[in-house]
Amino acid sequence: MINKSILAPLASALLLAGCMGTENRGLESVHQPVVSRSDYALDLGVSGGALVPGEERRLAGWMTTMRLAYGDRVAIDDPAGEGLRAHDAVAAVVAGYGLLLSDDAPVTPATVTPGTIRVVVSRMRAAVPRCPDWSRDSTNEFESNTSSNYGCAVNRNLAAMVANPADLVRGAPGTETTDAAVSYKAIDTYRKKAPTGASGLAAASTGGK
pLDDT of residue 119: 94
Are 96 and 56 within 8 A, CB to CB? Answer: no
pLDDT of residue 205: 62
Helix axis angle for 55-66 and 84-95, nearest 10°, is 40
Q: What is the pTM of this model?
A: 0.63
Residue in 28, 69, 72, 34 with CA at minimum distance from that of residue 159: 34
The low-confidence residues of the chain, meaning pLDDT below 50, are: 1-2, 7-8, 10-18
Strand residues in 105-197 grouped as ranges (E): 116-127
Helices (runs of H) and strands (runs of E) counted in the chain = 6, 5
pLDDT of residue 22: 84
Are 29 and 35 within 8 A, CB to CB? Answer: no
pLDDT of residue 7: 47
Are 60 and 26 within 8 A, CB to CB? Answer: no
Q: Which amino acid is at 197?
A: G
pLDDT of residue 147: 87
pLDDT of residue 16: 46
Residue in 109, 128, 115, 98 with CA at minimum distance from that of residue 40: 109
**Which helix (H) or strand (E) segment is 37 a member of?**
strand 34-47
Q: How far is CA 27 from CA 15, 111, 146, 154, 209, in A?
A: 25, 48, 8, 13, 66
Are 113 and 78 within 8 A, CB to CB? Answer: no
Q: What is the pLDDT of residues 155-165, one digit of tens each?
A: 999 999 988 88
User: Which SS3 state, helix, strand or coil, does residue 98 take?
Assistant: coil
pLDDT of residue 204: 64
* CB-based contacts of 66, cutoff 8 Å, min separation 6: 40, 72, 121
